[in-house]
Amino acid sequence: MRTLRIRTFTLLCFVLLLILPWIFYVAGHFMETKTLRFSESRAQNEVLQRQLSGILHQIETGADQWKDPNWQQRLNGRLEQAKIHVVIASAADREIYRSSPKRPALSSTERYTLLENGRVIGKVVLYLPKSSAMPMMAAFAGLLLAFFIIGVEMRRFLLKPLETMSHSARQIAEGDWDVKLPASKITEIAEVRDGFDVMVKGLRTSYRKQAELEEERRFVIAAVAHDLRTPLFALRGYLDGLEQGIARSPEKISKYVAVCKEKSAQLDRLVEDLFTFTKMEYVETKLHHRPIDFSHILQRSADSLSPQARQKQIAISIEAADGCIISGDEHLLERAMNNLLDNAVRHTPAQGKITVECYQEGRSIKFAIRDTGTGFTPEELERVFDPLFRGETSRNRSTGGSGLGLTISRTIIRRHGGELAASNHPEGGALLAGFVPAADPE
């Protein structure tokens, strides 16, 4: 849509104020004189003056014939030709002759007193046609029409969009984001409208994100409270049992102490995961880059998870190519791989298998961890990297971790310029695959 600058709109309004009255004036002049030539109008005025002089001379010289019907008829003919009306009165103001019963409209009045030898013999009132009355009235009507048109257009293009934006601002303040802004042909108003629309979209997006963050905050608080309460409740129960002497035999005491150690270890892991997640997400942690063989990191991670794997009789197979050299923070990358393998061990059934692959493709070192478990459900694939999300709704520590392991792993991989994705392998089981940039060759 083409738009006008407000100064152009103002100039057009000014031109309309000048042109429209002039057009109406010319139209009124044409209606009165039947011509568009103003020079002929001046000639008509000169003729009118000559006719007026002749009429006055006839009245003055024929003072003794004012009541004569023949004289009045001759005078009336000249008056009709000149479109002039006259009233003749005596010195005592008694009316002697009137050419028209009513005073003609749109006429000017001229009064004359006739003298003879210093004595008043009569009075004459002439009603002359106003040659400029019709054009002036037409010009005034044109001016009013111009003001009306300008008012309507200003209301349409200036005032209405501004009023609508003001109403929309109040709607937004009340929480109603469904606002519609009218278009305007004024460039400045259109630019303000576009800016207002961008602001509304930004506020709507910000509000939506804030609502999502609030929902996530509530979920995190509830999840952390649950994960802290469960081991604390168990720990307090077993400690109360020891204090009250419920466990009397050495074997039972050892079992109670072992459970207490296990629950305290769970709390320690949860607090450590929360600290790591907070540090990675909200604190600018400086990475200590140095050349690392990525296959060695995978091997150390597999070795650290071997005891848990042996308990479930799970075989861990590593297929790593030579020369998988990257530049990164060894401690954080090993933490990321430990989380991925820990997730695989927990979700792989007894006597299952975990396959770890590592190879170079172009300027990237790619890796993949596949297990023989049940894989991810569609809902889990959408939220598997969300903080504190766990597929099982009970949040049982025997089947799930803190819900931060995969989130921390992906954050670490991204901090190194790589990516991590979750999917299901075509032959079954979960597949966590990603890449990190290869180190620059020396």
**pLDDT tens column, 200-237:** 888 888 888 888 878 877 766 776 676 677 678 778 88
pLDDT digits (tens, 9 = 90+) for 8-51: 888 988 999 999 998 988 888 777 666 666 555 566 667 777 88
Note the pTM of the prediction, 2 decimals.
0.50
List beta partners, residue 436: 365
Pairing type for strands 290-293 and 325-328 reads: antiparallel
Higher pLDDT, 206 or 396: 206
What pLDDT score does 365 carry? 93
What's residue 314's pLDDT? Answer: 92
Q: pLDDT: is 397 or 43 the higher one?
A: 43
What are the CB-based long-range contacts (under 8 Å, 24+) for 102-110? Answer: 103/127, 104/129, 106/130, 106/133, 106/134
Give the residue range(s) of CATH 1.10.287.130 domains in the chain. Answer: 186-283
User: DSSP E strands: which ranges in 285-418?
Assistant: 290-293, 315-320, 325-328, 353-361, 364-371
**What's the confidence (pLDDT) of residue 393?**
47
Q: Convert the pLDDT of each residue in 328-348 to its tens digit.
A: 988 889 988 988 998 899 889
User: What local confidence, expressed as pLDDT, does residue 241 receive?
Assistant: 82
Q: Write out the residue limits of the CATH 3.30.565.10 domain(s) in the chain.
A: 290-437
Confidence class for position 133, pLDDT limits 50, 70, 90: low
Q: Which of 68-72, 175-179, 188-192, 321-325 has the lowest mean pLDDT?
A: 175-179
Phi, psi of 327 (to 5 degrees): -120, 115
Residue 220 neighbours by CB distance under 10 Å: 17
- CATH architecture of the domain 290-437 equals 2-Layer Sandwich (3.30)
DSSP label at residue 186: B
Q: What is the pLDDT of residue 354?
A: 93
More confident: 230 or 412:
412
Q: Which architecture does CATH list for 186-283?
A: Orthogonal Bundle (1.10)
